[in-house]
Amino acid sequence: MMDVRLEVGWKSVLALEFEKEYFEQLSQTVRQEITSGITVYPPGKLIFNAFDLTPFDKTKVVILGQDPYHGPGQAHGLCFSVPKGIPPPPSVQNIFKELNTDLGIPIPDHANLESWALQGVFLLNAVLTVRAGAPTSHSQIGWQTFTDAVIQTLSQHRSGLIFLLWGNFARTKRNLIDTSKHFVLEAAHPSPLSRGAFFGNRHFSQTNALLQRQGLAPIDWRV
């Protein structure tokens, strides 16, 4: 098993998953690449950052990304997010444009989304690691088996969660979610390749309305 710090609630609900053979093989693959000198992002201590910042029982919203950014200093374990001091990538710039249109929130000069995670927005990538400069290079080593189990665990053991599925890849995960007890909002991917189709979805105001309908605090989407 990977030697990582993991929030206690997640560690409990995923305990059986960590014991499975595929997860051990996945862990060995990542470790072997790192020990052989291959640069892997994010740094080891941040691979499970989304889990540590958003405890299982505090999760209210799930945003699903595909795999980590593959440039130096970009990936820190939260989908779409980059640390302060790193230029915001195009997709998250478009997220901020939609936020500005939807809720009037000024577009920030950074794209660190930790403040969302700390409020219960689980920023999960389907693949948790990547080789430097090689997008989707770890997409076939077992991570999706793990993160599919994560989504199913949330679906089974929680209720009233709001899943934001942006783009065709994220939408394929809809069948893992019990839509009789959770909310699913779908839209085009925020990438510029979507040619603006992401804009106008108003997912942020819709999410807050759904939270307030359940008596939960809305998300302060400012970063």
Which residues are tagged catalytic?
A: 67
Radius of gyration of the chain (CA): 17
Burial 5-33 (b: 16+ CB within 10 A, else e): eebeebeebbeeeeeeeebeebbebbeeb
Backbone phi and psi for residue 164, each to the nearest 5 degrees, phi listed first: -105, 110
Q: Which among 75, 14, 22, 71 is positioned nearest to 49, based on CA atoms?
A: 75
User: Which tokens in the block code for residue 52?
Assistant: 């540590």
Helix (H) / strand (E) containing 187: strand 183-187
